[in-house]
A and B are shown apart, each in its own frame.
Chain A
Amino acid sequence: MSKVRVLVGTRKGAFILTADAARERWQVSGPHFAGWEMYHVKGSPVDPDRIYASQTSGWFGQVLQCSTDGGQTWFQPGASPDEKPAFPPTTASNRFVYDTSETNGKPLTTHQWYDGTQHPWEFKRVWHLEPSPKDANTVYAGVEDAALFRSTDGGVSWHELAGLRGHGTGPQWQPGAGGMCLHTIIIDPTNPERIYIAISAAGAFRTDDGGQNWKPINKGLVSNFMPNPTGEVGHCVHHIALHPSRPDVLFMQKHWDVMRSDNAGDQWTEVSGNLPTDFGFVIDVHAHEPETLYVVPIKSDSEHFPLDGQLKVYRSRSGGNEWEPLTKGLPQQNCYVNVLRDAMAVDRLDDCGIYFGTTGGQVYVSSNSGNSWRPIVENLPAVLSVEVQTIS
């Protein structure tokens, strides 16, 4: 019998929520890594019990955790307490070092700072972990300051795909208010050589050769906060989603504007349509309906909470432009939470489940494609990320 496992990263630990296909009775496990910021927790599509987690702290920096039993036990890759001590230590699971080698042709050491000067690239944390759809030992990490790393040994060691920073526009990238983070990684399920990534506030980028060469894919985006609102880079992309059956069709929640592309990001068009506000962070696609989208509109970039204190998910069944509010089971008064960019996910059950977490510590589920909602948990720390595994 199928079940779902919801992986929740919060400001103060990770939680694992499990239920059978009915999604009515939930078991809650956690906090795992209590007291640490858990930016992202995600399982391998190849081996669902292999889960990677990004554990961070302002005091102690980055730690990478892994589980091979579905989140019951965890270890730092290469640093198991059962291993014989060695010096120098052999683990490098939290060693993210930017590649400035000449072999990449374009060693890149600085990006644009808030005051317009150039500033050194400085690693701060891993925002997003994307396990390979083909190999459980291969996983990608999107980090702040923005760069993409890959591990092919289960997270024991990491190497930058430096062609992204080095493709030419890197010195123009600059951080947004939340830092200069690479927060979205999407691997084309039909072609692992094609990878999409997104950076705040640089924009979206694509590789078609497994990460060696990259190009910006921001045509059609308009960002009025930029000196040139249609510039090649500089756009504050908040999140991108695609449906596995149509990997050339992308949907984007930008700082403002909901966008779609039908040609792998080569051109974007706005599909905000009748949304009451098109600012927001999350966007996702129904598991079985490639034209059914979900967003959570947020009032503005100055007021990160729902309009009028009413938490509403908006659904489009037409690939954008025409949106309907979904409110049943969601608070419709005095609600001033936010839903952060990696905090929405969908399961693959026949009745598609939609999940999202809030900065108020609620994780909501709809087991009927969004028609009605209910909280799985209501008082977690602020939710940073939500991922769902559908397990047969």
Chain B
Amino acid sequence: MIRVQIPYHLRTLARVEGEVTLAVPAPVTVRSILDALEAHYPMLQGTIRDHVTRERRPFLRFFACGEDLSHDSPDAPLPDAIADGREPLLIIGAIAGG
């Protein structure tokens, strides 16, 4: 199972706690994970990527295995540690405050 960590406000929207686990068919990519995530939690549609362009929303980033994958192709295969569930895909909101 694929593990995904989503920001607090999206966990509230999806009515989940902690990590989300998903069955994702190979090849495991950012796109295939987001497709599965939105299928299981349709209330998240449009909140991580744009409804029409499917582009990542500007204030969100994708991290995995200590790397920032935000600017990689969404169709690039993710590391094995993500695909076999040892590591989670992190969806991170930009830090802001004041």
Contacts and interface: CB of A to CB of B under 8 A. Distances in A.
Interface of A: 35-36, 57-63, 76, 78-79, 81, 83, 85-92, 94-95, 97
Contact of B7 (A59, A62, A91, A97): A59
B43 A86 contact: no
B94 A59 contact: yes
A76 B38 CA distance: 14
B86 interface: no
A60 B57 contact: yes
Contacts of A86: 39, 42
B39 A63 contact: no
A122 B49 CA distance: 15
A86 B50 CA distance: 19
A275 B36 CA distance: 59
Interface in B1-49: 7-10, 13-15, 35-36, 38-43, 45-48
Contacts, number: 73
A60 B48 CA distance: 6
A58 B38 CA distance: 20
A36 B93 CA distance: 14
Contacts of B10: 60
A63 B36 CA distance: 20
A95 B43 contact: no
Interface of B: 7-10, 13-15, 35-36, 38-43, 45-48, 50-52, 57, 59-60, 93-94, 96
- The 7 A-B pairs with the shortest beta carbon distances in the complex, nearest first, are A87-B39, A89-B42, A79-B43, A60-B47, A79-B42, A59-B59, A95-B51
20 contacts: A57-B9, A59-B57, A59-B60, A59-B94, A78-B42, A79-B43, A79-B45, A85-B39, A85-B42, A86-B42, A89-B38, A89-B42, A89-B45, A92-B45, A94-B46, A94-B47, A95-B45, A95-B46, A97-B51, A97-B52
Nearest to A77: B43
Most chain A Cβ neighbours within 10 Å, of B8, B13, B60? B13
A61 B57 contact: yes
Nearest to B10: A60
Nearest to A57: B9
A253 B14 CA distance: 40
B90 to A, nearest CB: 15
Contacts of B15: 81
- Output the residue of B46, B50, B52, B60 with the most chain A CB within 10 A: B46
Given A78-B42, A85-B40, A91-B42, 10 more contacts: A35-B8, A58-B59, A59-B94, A60-B9, A62-B46, A63-B46, A85-B39, A89-B38, A89-B45, A95-B46
B51 A76 contact: no
B9 A36 contact: yes
Contacts of A81: 14-15, 43
B9 A91 contact: no
B9 A35 contact: yes
Given A35-B9, A60-B10, A63-B13, A91 B45 contact: yes
Contacts of B47: 60-61, 63, 94
Contacts of A79: 42-43, 45
Nearest to A80: B43
A211 B2 CA distance: 47
Contacts of B96: 58
A89 B39 contact: yes
B17 to A, nearest CB: 13
B9 A76 contact: no
B8 to A, nearest CB: 8
A185 B51 CA distance: 25
Contacts of B51: 92, 94-95, 97
Contacts of B38: 87-89
Nearest to A34: B12
Contact of A76 (B39, B43, B60, B94): B43
